Chains A and B, each alone.
Chain A
Amino acid sequence: MPLIRLNSNISGDAIFRATTYVFALIIPLLLLALFFSLLRGALPAIMHFGPKFLIDMSWDPVRETYGALPFIYGTVASSVLALVVAVPLGLGCAIYLSNAVSPPSNIKGIISQMIELLAAIPSIIYGLWGIFVLGPFLAGFFEPLLSATLGFLPLFQGASNGLGMMSAGIILAIMILPTIAAVSREVIDAVPTVLKESAISIGTTKWETFMLAVWGPSKAGIIGAVILGLGRALGETMAVTMVIGNRPSISASLFAPAYTLASVIANEFAEATSDLSLSALIELGLVLLILTVAVNGLARILVWKTTSKATL
C-alpha cells in the first residue's frame, strides 16, 4: 500500500504525522549534535590529560595544568545546598496554596503572583542583589551568628566575607523556589478530589488528609519538580559567578569561596587563547552536560520507582 493515497483523508494524516515526526526528531538530534561538537572540541584536552582531568585539583593557565574536580564539587555542592533550602520552603508554600489547605483566596492570589514574579527576575539582578544586599547581610550578621552558635561544625568555621558557597546556595535556592513551588502545587492540585473527600469523610484533619490522600499520589510529581529545580541550579551561571567567590578549591566551610563549572566557562572562555586551555574549557562544558543528563536520568529512575511502588 502506498504511503500517501490521494483522494483520501489518510494522506493528510500521513503528511501530518511525517511532519511532526521530523520536528520531534530534531530535538534528540540537536542534543546529539551538541554532545559531539563538545566532544570534538574537548578531544585535545581529553587526549592530553586523560581521566586525571576529572580528579585533578589545579587550574593553572600559566602552567597549563587543568583539572575539573573543584568545579564539579562546587557545582554539585551549591546545587545541593540550594535544594536543602528551597525544597522545604517551596513544598511548604505549594501545600499551603493547594486545595489541600484552601487558604483565603486573596492571600492565595497574592502569594502565587509573588512566586511567579520571582521566576521572572533576570539572574543578573539576583547577582547584584547578592553582592550588595545578601553578601553584607551574611558577612555582618548571619555567618557570625552561625559560627558563634554552630561553630563546632566544620561547615560553619573560618573567615566570612559574604562571598562564597553559602551566598551562592541561598541565591540559587531563591531562583529555583518558584519552579519547585509552582510545579508541586499543580501536582498536588491534580490529585482527584474524590480521594480527599473520602479521607475527610472518615474525619481526618487537614494534615491527615494531606498525608493519607495527597502525598502518595503526588510524590512522584513533587520529585519531578525538585529535579527541575536542580537542573536549573546546576546550570545557573551569572548570579552564581557574582557571589560564589570564584576560587577553585574544596573547603568544608560554607563560608569559603568556591567555583562552578558554568562560572569558570563564562569567566575564561572569552580570553582563552591557547588551544589547550580552550579545549579544557570545552571539556568542562562536556562534564557539565553529562552531569546534567545524569542527574535527570537518576531523577527519571527515582520517579519511575516511586510511581511503580505507589501503584503496587
Chain B
Amino acid sequence: MLKRITLLFFALMLFAGMAWAVDLNGAGATFPAPIYSKWFDQFEKETGTRVNYQAIGSGGGIRQFTAGVVDFGATDAFMTQKEMESAGGDVLHIPTVMGSVAIVYNLSGVAGIKLDGDTLAGIYLGDIRKWNDEKISALNPGKNLPDKDITVVHRSDASGTTSIFTNYLAKVSTGWASKVGADKSVSWPVGIGGKGNFGVAGSVKQITGSIGYVELAYALENQMTYASIKNRSGNFVEPDISATSAAAEGGLKKIPSDFRIDMTNMPGAKSYPIVGMTWLLVHKNQKDSVKGQALKDMLKWCMDKGQKYAEGLHYAPLPDKIIAKVKSAIDSIE
C-alpha cells in the first residue's frame, strides 16, 4: 500500500514537472503591470504555464526583447520601423488593454473645469500662466476662476503616460509639435517634475493652483478633481472607462493591421481624446515550438478570458471588433 502511494506520489511529481515545463518570460511596461500580474497569475492557475513578468519599463522591455533575453516584451509606445528591424523584423504588436490619461488639478471650490487641446497646450507651453486667463474663462462661462498662478506638473521619469499626453498635445497644437514634440520624455518648457504617477498626484494634491496629468486609475483612487476635455466632435468628455472604449470604437477604421497606432484624439461623439494602447511584443517566427504554442495560448487567453478583469483595475477592455482582428494576428504566429 505504502509502495503504491509512493509510486503515485512520484507519478504526480513527474506530471507536475511536465506541466511546469514551459515557463514564459516577459519584461516591459509598468503602466499595464497591475493587470498583467492579475492575468498571468490567473493564467497559471488555469493552465499551469507560469509567466514571469518584470515591469522594468517600456524602454527596458524593448531592449530585452531585441536582445532575445525574454520571450515577449511589453511597451506603451510602439516600436519604430528601425527598432523592429534590429529586433529581427518579425515583430508583432499585440494590443492588450487601453487606458486614459486624466488631467487633474487643484483649485479649491472650482470643480468640473472644461479644457480644450489648444488651451492645455498653452498651459504646458507656459503661454497661459493664470487660471483666470481669457482662454480658460471662455471655455468655462459662469465659473469663478481665481487670479492664481498655474503651477504645471509633469512626469520627471520617462513614461508611456507622457508619450500619450505629448502625442495628444502635438496633434492638437502646432506650437507644441514644433517647440516640444512627443516622446516618453520631452524637454518641458515650464513646470516641475514628479517621479511616477504617484509623484505627480502628490505634487498636484499639495500645491494649490497646480495642474498635472496622471493615469485614470490614480485620479480615481486619490479622489482628485479632473477636467473634461473637448474631443473632435466638440463635446467635453470626462476620462472614464466608457469614454476610453468609445475612443477605440471611434478609431476602429484607423487601426492598421499591425496595430501600431497612436490612439489620441480619435473621432466619436463620446470619445475621450487622451487615450493610449499598450502592447505585448512577440516574434512571428518562434524558434521553440513548445514555447511558441504556450505563448499563443497565453495571448489568446488574454483576449478571451483576460479582458473581463480590465475594468476592475481601471483599464478599458478592447472592443470586440479589435479582439477578432488581434486573434487572427495571434494565429499567424508560427
- A residues with a Cβ closer than 8 A to B are 58-63, 131-132, 135-136, 139, 159, 161-164, 241-242, 245-248, 257, 259, 263, 266-268, 270-273
| Residues of B contacting A246 in the complex (Cβ-Cβ under 8 angstroms) | 156, 192-195
Which residues from 38 to 74 on chain B have a C-beta closer than 8 Å to any C-beta of chain A? 56-60, 62-63
Instruction: Judge whether B184 is part of the interface by a CB distance below 8 angstroms.
Output: yes
| Residues of A contacting B192 in the complex (Cβ-Cβ under 8 angstroms) | 161, 163-164, 245-247, 257
Instruction: Judge whether B151 is part of the interface by a CB distance below 8 angstroms.
Output: yes
28 contacting pairs across A/B (C-beta < 8 A)? A59-B187, A60-B186, A61-B183, A61-B185, A62-B183, A131-B199, A139-B207, A159-B149, A161-B151, A161-B207, A162-B207, A163-B203, A242-B199, A246-B156, A246-B192, A246-B194, A257-B193, A266-B195, A267-B156, A267-B195, A268-B185, A270-B57, A270-B158, A271-B58, A271-B157, A271-B185, A273-B58, A273-B184
A263 to B158, alpha carbons, bound, how many Å?
12
Which of these, A60, A132, A245, A259, contacts B202 with CB under 8 Å?
A: A132
Q: Are A271 and B206 in contact (CB under 8 A)?
A: no
Q: Are A270 and B156 in contact (CB under 8 A)?
A: no
Q: Are B158 and A267 in contact (CB under 8 A)?
A: yes
Whole-angstrom distance from the CB of B90 to the nearest CB of chain A?
Answer: 19
Which of these, B56, B194, B199, B203, contacts A270 with CB under 8 Å?
A: B56
A273 to B195, alpha carbons, bound, how many Å?
19
Instruction: Judge whether B329 is part of the interface by a CB distance below 8 angstroms.
Output: no
A272 to B192, alpha carbons, bound, how many Å?
20
Provided the pairs A61-B183, A242-B199 are in contact, do residues A247 and B191 lie with their beta carbons within 8 angstroms? yes
Whole-angstrom distance from the CB of B121 to the nearest CB of chain A?
Answer: 15
Instruction: Judge whether B145 is part of the interface by a CB distance below 8 angstroms.
Output: no
Whole-angstrom distance from the CB of A185 to the nearest CB of chain B?
Answer: 35
Q: Are A273 and B151 in contact (CB under 8 A)?
A: no
A241 to B196, alpha carbons, bound, how many Å?
11
B62 — nearest CB in chain A belongs to which residue? A273
Q: Are A273 and B157 in contact (CB under 8 A)?
A: no
- B residues with a Cβ closer than 8 A to A are 56-60, 62-63, 83, 149, 151, 156-160, 180-188, 191-195, 199, 202-203, 206-207, 210
Q: Are B206 and A131 in contact (CB under 8 A)?
A: yes
B60 — nearest CB in chain A belongs to which residue? A270
Q: Are A271 and B159 in contact (CB under 8 A)?
A: yes
B77 — nearest CB in chain A belongs to which residue? A273
Which of these, A61, A159, A266, A271, contacts B187 with CB under 8 Å?
A: A61
Whole-angstrom distance from the CB of A72 to the nearest CB of chain B?
Answer: 18
Provided the pairs A242-B199, A246-B156, A270-B56 are in contact, do residues A132 and B206 lie with their beta carbons within 8 angstroms? yes
For B83, B159, B206, the residue with the greatest tally of chain A CB atoms inside 10 Å of its CB is B206
| Residues of B contacting A59 in the complex (Cβ-Cβ under 8 angstroms) | 187
A257 — nearest CB in chain B belongs to which residue? B192
Q: Are B58 and A247 in contact (CB under 8 A)?
A: no
A59 — nearest CB in chain B belongs to which residue? B187
Closest 4 A-B residue pairs measured CB to CB? A246-B193, A270-B57, A271-B158, A246-B156
| Residues of B contacting A245 in the complex (Cβ-Cβ under 8 angstroms) | 192-193
| Residues of B contacting A164 in the complex (Cβ-Cβ under 8 angstroms) | 192
Q: Are B206 and A241 in contact (CB under 8 A)?
A: no
| Residues of B contacting A266 in the complex (Cβ-Cβ under 8 angstroms) | 157, 195
Provided the pairs A257-B192, A270-B60 are in contact, do residues A62 and B206 lie with their beta carbons within 8 angstroms? no
Q: Are A271 and B60 in contact (CB under 8 A)?
A: yes
B66 — nearest CB in chain A belongs to which residue? A273
| Residues of B contacting A268 in the complex (Cβ-Cβ under 8 angstroms) | 157-158, 185
Whole-angstrom distance from the CB of B194 to the nearest CB of chain A?
Answer: 7
| Residues of B contacting A267 in the complex (Cβ-Cβ under 8 angstroms) | 156-158, 185, 193, 195
Q: Are B156 and A61 in contact (CB under 8 A)?
A: no
| Residues of A contacting B180 in the complex (Cβ-Cβ under 8 angstroms) | 62
Which of these, A58, A63, A136, A257, contacts B181 with CB under 8 Å?
A: A63
| Residues of B contacting A60 in the complex (Cβ-Cβ under 8 angstroms) | 186-187
Q: Are A273 and B59 in contact (CB under 8 A)?
A: yes
Q: Are A61 and B186 in contact (CB under 8 A)?
A: yes
| Residues of A contacting B210 in the complex (Cβ-Cβ under 8 angstroms) | 161
Q: Are B206 and A162 in contact (CB under 8 A)?
A: yes
Q: Are A62 and B59 in contact (CB under 8 A)?
A: no
Q: Are B187 and A136 in contact (CB under 8 A)?
A: no
Q: Are B193 and A271 in contact (CB under 8 A)?
A: no
A136 to B203, alpha carbons, bound, how many Å?
10
Q: Are A62 and B187 in contact (CB under 8 A)?
A: yes
A61-B185, A272-B158 known; 18 new pairs, CB 8 Å cut-off, are A60-B186, A62-B183, A62-B187, A131-B199, A163-B203, A241-B156, A242-B199, A245-B192, A245-B193, A246-B192, A247-B192, A267-B185, A267-B195, A268-B157, A271-B58, A271-B60, A271-B158, A272-B59
A248 to B154, alpha carbons, bound, how many Å?
13
Q: Are A247 and B193 in contact (CB under 8 A)?
A: yes
| Residues of A contacting B193 in the complex (Cβ-Cβ under 8 angstroms) | 245-247, 257, 259, 267
A64 to B233, alpha carbons, bound, how many Å?
35
Whole-angstrom distance from the CB of B274 to the nearest CB of chain A?
Answer: 19
Whole-angstrom distance from the CB of B316 to the nearest CB of chain A?
Answer: 23
Provided the pairs A62-B181, A246-B192 are in contact, do residues A273 and B63 lie with their beta carbons within 8 angstroms? yes
| Residues of A contacting B63 in the complex (Cβ-Cβ under 8 angstroms) | 273
| Residues of B contacting A136 in the complex (Cβ-Cβ under 8 angstroms) | 206
